[in-house]
Amino acid sequence: MKRLDIILITFYITISIVIGFTLIWGPASAAEFIEVKVDNEVYGRYTVPMNEPMEITLDKLGHNIVVIDGYQVYIKEADCPDQLCVRRGAIEKTGTMLVCLPNKVTVEIIGKRDDGVDILSY
């Protein structure tokens, strides 16, 4: 292999890695608001991004503390026995959800709708 071949291969591999990271961990700029539901009833809708972290305390069916920070949202504290919702960590991509089943709490990031065709079937 010549020196130019090695440079071109290195360049293409680097570009592929950068594009891959951008697609997987890219910014969540399409998010518009975060919807918090308790017992399948909307508790609140919060516009993102938040300039300062905001804590939402939910005490209807159990104790949960939801934190919204910028485009990220996570459950900081819960009194459910398994703590899966707390261990899930922060989410920031449109369409992702946090769920605390024992306390019937759901947190969803909702963004702009893309009404384009996703798949066709005949």
The kind and range of the H/E element at 18 are helix 3-25
The rounded distance, in Å, linking the Cα atoms of 80 and 64 is 9
Q: Which residues contact 28 (CB under 8 A, 6 or more apart)?
A: 71, 92, 93, 94, 109, 111
Domain locations in the chain? 31-111
Report the CATH fold assignment for 31-111: mini-chromosome maintenance (MCM) complex, domain 2 (2.60.320)
The rounded distance, in Å, linking the Cα atoms of 100 and 38 is 10
Determine what percent of the chain is predicted with pLDDT higher than 70.
87
The rounded distance, in Å, linking the Cα atoms of 90 and 75 is 8
| pLDDT, tens only, 34-68 | 999 999 999 999 988 888 889 999 988 889 999 99
| pLDDT, tens only, 76-100 | 999 989 999 999 999 988 888 999 9
Q: What's the confidence (pLDDT) of residue 84?
A: 92
**Is 70 buried (19+), middle (13-18) or exposed (0-12) by CB count in 10 A?**
middle
Query: Measured on CA atoms in the order 34, 64, 62, 96, is the torsion positive or negative?
Result: positive
> Helix, strand, or coil here: 80?
coil
In 3D, which of 62, 55, 69 has the Cα closest to residue 83?
62
